[in-house]
Amino acid sequence: MHSARIKAGSSHLHDAPSVVFASEPMDNGAWQLLNPGELVHVGADLKITRRMILPDPPLHPLKRSDLDPGTAAAQHPTS
Helix, strand, coil % over all residues of the chain, rounded to 5: 15, 15, 70
Within a domain: 79: no
Higher local confidence (pLDDT), 5 or 64: 64
Number of domains in the chain: 1
pTM value is 0.61
Residue 52 confidence (pLDDT) = 97
Nearest CA among 19, 53, 16, 24 for reference residue 36: 53
Tell me whether residue 77 is in a domain. no
Is residue 42 domain-resident? Answer: yes
Q: What is the DSSP string of 42-54?
A: E-TT--EEEEES-
Residue 22 CB neighbours (<10 A): 14
What 49-57 contacts at long range (C-beta under 8 Å, 24+ apart), as own/partner pairs, is none
Whether 28 maps to a domain, the answer reads: yes
pLDDT, tens only, 3-54: 666 677 788 878 888 888 887 788 878 888 999 899 999 999 999 999 999 9
- Residue 43: the pLDDT is 96
State the pLDDT confidence band at 55, using cuts at 50, 70 and 90: very high
The pLDDT score that the predictor gives to residue 53 is 97
